[in-house]
Amino acid sequence: MAEVALINATKRFGDVAAIGDVSLTVADGEFVVLLGPTGAGKTTTLRVIAGLETLDEGAVRIGGREVSKEAPALRDVAFVFQQYSLYPHLSVYDNMAFPLRSPTRRVPEDEIRRSITEIARMLHIDHKLQNKATRLSGGEMQRVAIGRALVRHPSIYLMDEPLSSLDAKLRQELRLELKRIQRDLGATMLYVTHDQVEAMTMASRIGVLKQGKLVQLGTPREIYEDPAETYVATRLGQPRINLMPRRLFPSLPTPSSAETIGVRTEHLKIDRHHQGAARVARIEHLGDQRYLHLSLEDHSIVTLAGHDTDLDVGDSVALQLERPLFFDRDGMRVRP
Amino acid sequence: MNEHSGTISIADKAAATPRPVAVRVRGLSDKGIAWLFVGPTIVLLLAINIFPLIWTIYLSFTNYAANRSGEVKNVGTRNYERILNDADIWAAMQATAHFVIWTIAIETVLGFALAYLIDKKFRGHGFWTTLLLLPMMLSPAVVGNFWKFLYEPQIGLFNYAISYLTGIDRTSFQMLGEVSLAPWAIVIVDVWMWTPYVMLICLAGLRSIPDYIYEAAEVDRASPWRQFVSITLPMSMPFIMLAVLFRGIENFKMFDLINLLTSGGPGSTTEVASITLKRAAFESWRTGYSSAFAIILFVAVFGLANIYVKALNKVKQR
Ligand SMILES: Nc1ncnc2c1ncn2[C@@H]1O[C@H](COP(=O)(O)OP(=O)(O)OP(=O)(O)O)[C@@H](O)[C@H]1O
Ligand SMILES: [Mg+2]
């Protein structure tokens, strides 16, 4: 395992910069998650580190060594591809053994078998080891791809949405397993996901990408509680953070340049005993909790309500904001 | 069948607009319309494929000769017995085997190698691809005639090139006139003409392998050789086998090119099965006998192709 660093990395495809001037250091043994909408440059970042794309500007360092010009084979990275990339004519076992059978590694066959058996059991694919890679479901293929990476002990694991095609139960289980393995091995990991639970629970730090730029890098807590802009604030939180124009809360003391007020659902308290400007528009029951959709003038606001709430559609309520966040006209954070 | 529902909706539409069409169409059931469309093709197929085949099978059990009138006698399996004991026939089968095996071997290796190079997308690969494909687009008659000139000992470019490269006197050998060279002369022409075809199919195979599989292999530290052996070759194998199948069937019944180049000569060294067949049928006029031979060839090709297709399916499912 090693420290991996991108230094002022830029990669262009034609005119568009898939990533622009990204600097990111993943410390030895650290688990960094990349967040961002589709097309933000997450995959490109991983590919640049793996050496599957060459940088236009900047550098890649693995373990302190400059590797920008080196072939992927020399960089000692393991990659879980978004589109699985299994070897279709090989069995699951042979797929997982493929990297270990490289002549440069010379791993004895019985050791290969031992580690494959162990990892296959963990990923629940031990009964599929003799299957052809093409005769698997999407979720099984994805787990084989993860297994093919985990049998190795590379400088860094690069994982591109590795749990995206699994069902909720399996995803939760593997999330814990992956995190455990990463911690046990002290593995360096750069991990792309759209799933905020994965991001929040697995990451040591989260990096948020916006059109190829790294706009914020910090612990999950920092990203959640202290976002640098509305773009970051809307990445995490389910339901999404409420963004409202300042004029809706004339009595709230705000910094002068603030245009938008952001309040997470759990920080939006309802005062039932006062008549207020907000009206209950809709109540959504999600089993363990319920979402309260309110309308305030022409804005809709979502908040959480307990089970005991006796609110009904049409009721008027007052709102109380805790720990509001302020953003200026461009969506940048302003601090009081 | 889907076509049926399509027809119905057309009929429905027709009902809404001009009447006469609707009335005419309405007179037929869905099945009737289906047969109306398929019928002509089936009749044509029966007339030019199935009927001649059955007729040939019938003739192969008679002593019929197309240039003589007179009584046609049923001779049982005598034609077949004679063929299987005829040394000339076996010589022809040997000549065919030599031609088929060598053309396939060389065309496959060369074709795949060329496809592999072109797939690497070097500068100007489009131009070279087009150039390489030219021979395949010529008519066999043209190819046969101009290779005859190329093989001319006095004026031919081929002999000139060989003598230039090796120092052998260019009039000292005749590609088409010598027993030891003629079988190779026809192999060379077929390779020249049909390697591009094999290349094209192999290229389709190579292009069907997604890039990301090579990327995974590269990250997994597979050397270029290991990538070739464990990815490129197995994944393009179904395509290679398909090319071999097409070329095999085609060359098993090769006639035009060889007939133009050597007409089976010198002696009968390049007399492949189809030329023997033509001679028996239209020079000796032993129609019954040649029908039997045609049936034997047909069964042989059909059987081999079937076995081969089974193997191909196995490879594809691997
Ligand atoms: N090979 C390529 N050629 C041209 N443009 C590319 C190429 N690869 C990526 N891009 C562009 O670079 C940008 C970033 O792509 P990237 O694949 O990194 O996105 P991503 O964040 O992984 O998205 P997703 O969540 O959909 O996987 C996109 O605008 C994409 O169109
Ligand atoms: Mg991606």
Average pLDDT value for residue range A234-244: 88
Q: What is the pLDDT of residue B25?
A: 60
pLDDT of residue B12: 52
pLDDT of B17 strictly over 60: no
pLDDT at B3: 42
Least confident of A82-91, A260-269, A282-291: A282-291
Read off the pLDDT of each residue in B135-148 and give the average, rounded to a whole number: 91
- State the average pLDDT for chain B: 86
> Would you state the pLDDT for residue B5?
45
* A47 CA to centre of ligand 2 in angstroms: 10
- Phi and psi at residue A167, to the nearest 5°: -75, 165
Of A83, A99, A148, which is closest to B221 when you measure between CB atoms? A99
Instruction: Look at residues A234, A250, A251, A243 and name the one whose alpha carbon lies nearest to residue A268.
Output: A243
For residues B202 and B112, give the distance between their C-alpha atoms in angstroms, rounded to a whole number: 6
- Total Cβ atoms within 10 A of residue A100: 21
Residue nearest to ligand 1 atom 28, measured at CA: A39
**Higher pLDDT among residues B25 and B79, named by residue:** B79
State the amino acid at position A215 in one-letter form.
V
pLDDT in tens, B216-268: 999 998 999 999 999 999 999 999 999 999 999 999 988 889 988 888 878 88
pLDDT at B11 over 60: no
Name the CATH topology of A242-334: OB fold (Dihydrolipoamide Acetyltransferase, E2P) (2.40.50)
Mean pLDDT of B168-186: 87
Smallest Cβ–Cβ distance between B219 and the set A77, A87, A88 belongs to A77
CATH of range A4-233; options 3.10.20.30, 3.40.50.300, 2.40.30.10, 1.10.357.10: 3.40.50.300
Q: Tokens 């809404």: give the residue.
A: B16
Radius of gyration, alpha carbons of chain B: 26
Q: Which neighbouring-strand residues pair with A263?
A: A242
pLDDT of A84 > 90? The answer is no
pLDDT over 50 (residue A110): yes
pLDDT at B16: 52
pLDDT of residue B4: 47
Domains of chain B: 16-59 (no CATH), 78-316 (1.10.3720.10)
In this structure, of A81-85, A183-187, A310-314, B10-14, the range with the lowest mean pLDDT score is: B10-14
List the single range of A216-220, B17-21, B94-98, B218-222 with lowest mean pLDDT: B17-21
Q: How far apart are CA A102 and CA B223, in angstroms?
A: 8
High-pLDDT (> 90) share of chain B, %: 44
What residue ranges of chain A are covered by domains with CATH 3.40.50.300? 4-233
Question: Is residue A239 a contact partner of residue A289, using CB atoms and an 8 Å limit?
Answer: no
Tokens of A260: 């938008």
Question: Average pLDDT of A243-250?
Answer: 86
- Ligand 1 lined by A13 (C-beta under 6 Å): yes
Q: Does residue A83 have its Cβ closer than 6 Å to ligand 1?
A: no
Q: How far apart are CA A331 and CA B89, in angstroms?
A: 89
Q: Which of A236-240, B88-92, B303-307 has the lowest mean pLDDT?
A: A236-240
* Residue B221 with chain A: CB contacts under 8 Å: 73, 99, 102, 104-105
DSSP at B60: T
Residue A203's pLDDT is what?
A: 93
Query: What's the token pair of residue B260?
Result: 């133009």
- Quickly count: other Cβ atoms within 10 Å of residue B71's Cβ: 8
More confident residue, A290 or B21: A290
Query: Please, are residues A156 and A189 in contact by the beta-carbon 8 Å criterion?
Result: yes
Whether B249 and B312 have beta carbons less than 8 Å apart is answered as no
Instruction: Say if residues B167 and B279 touch (Cβ distance below 8 Å).
Output: no
Instruction: Tell me whether A105 touches chain B (CB under 8 Å).
Output: yes
- Tell me the CA–centroid distance for residue A70 and ligand 1, in Å: 22
Calculate mean pLDDT across residues A73-91. 90
Question: Which contiguous run of DSSP H or E holds residue B52?
Answer: helix B51-59
Q: Name the amino acid, one letter, at A111.
A: E
Q: What angle do CA A112, A116, A120 make, to 5 degrees?
A: 175
**Predicted-complex ipTM score:** 0.83
A40-49, A186-195, A243-252, B34-43: least confidently modelled range: A243-252
What average pLDDT does this structure show over B192-215?
Answer: 93
Is residue A18 within 6 Å of ligand 1 at its C-beta? yes
Distance A280 CA to ligand 1 centre (A): 41
The DSSP secondary-structure symbol of B74 reads: B
> What average pLDDT score do residues B43-67 get?
90
Indicate the SS3 state at residue A270: strand
Residue at A90: amino acid letter = L
The β-bridge partners of A229 are A332
- The pLDDT assigned to A8 comes to 93
Question: Which chain B residues touch A52 with a CB distance below 8 Å?
Answer: 215, 218-219
Taking the CA of residue A41 as reference, the ligand 1 atom at the shortest distance is 18
Separation in Å, CA of B213 to nearest CA in chain A: 5
Neighbours of A13 (CB within 10 A): 10
- B52: pLDDT confidence band, cut at 50, 70 and 90? very high
Please state the atom number of ligand 1 nearest to the C-alpha of residue A19.
Answer: 14
Question: Considering the entire predicted model, what is its pTM?
Answer: 0.80
Which of left, alpha, beta for A99 (phi over 0: left; psi -120 to 50: alpha)? alpha
DSSP H stretches of helix in A55-125: 72-75, 92-97, 109-122
Locate the chain A residue with the closest alpha carbon to B213.
A85
Question: Does the beta-carbon distance from A102 to B221 stay under 8 Å?
Answer: yes
State which amino acid sits at residue B303: G
pLDDT of residue B8: 47
Crossing angle for the helix pair B140-150 and B157-166, to the nearest 10 degrees: 50
Question: d(Cα A158, Cα A18) in Å, to the nearest integer?
Answer: 18
Query: What's residue B26's pLDDT?
Result: 64
Which of A32-36, A143-147, B63-67, B233-237 is predicted with the least confidence, judged by mean pLDDT? B63-67
Residues 108-137 of chain A whose Cβ lies under 8 A from any Cβ of chain B = 132
Of A202, A262, A268, A267, which is closest to residue A227 (Cα–Cα)? A262
Task: Find where tokens 């046609």 sit.
Answer: B72
Q: What was the pLDDT predicted at A267?
A: 87
Kindly determine whether residue A102 and residue B220, on different chains, have CB atoms separated by under 8 Å.
yes
- Closest Cα partner for A276 from A314, A320, A318, A319? A318
Residue A24's identity, in one-letter code, is L
Q: Select from A72, A73, A81 the Cβ nearest to the Cβ of B212.
A: A81
For range B173-197, the mean pLDDT:
91
Instruction: Please name which of A291, A44, A13 lies closest in space to residue A158, comparing C-alpha atoms.
Output: A44
Pocket probe mutation, ligand 1, options A10, A11, A16, A47, max atoms within 8 Å of Cβ: A16
B199: Cβ contacts below 8 Å, ≥ 6 apart: B110, B111, B112, B114, B115, B118, B132
Q: Residue B177: what are its φ and ψ, rounded to 5°?
A: -105, -5
Q: Is B221 within 8 Å of A89 when comparing Cβ atoms? A: no
Atom 26 of ligand 1, residue of closest alpha carbon: A38
Give phi and psi for B23, each to the nearest 5.
Answer: -65, -45
Q: Whose CA is nearest to atom 25 of ligand 1?
A: A38
Å from CA of A13 to ligand 2 middle: 15
Judged by a CB distance cut-off of 8 A, whether residue A62 touches chain B is no
- Asked whether residue A331 carries a pLDDT value surpassing 60, the answer given is yes
The answer, yes or no, to whether residue A275 has pLDDT greater than 80, is: no
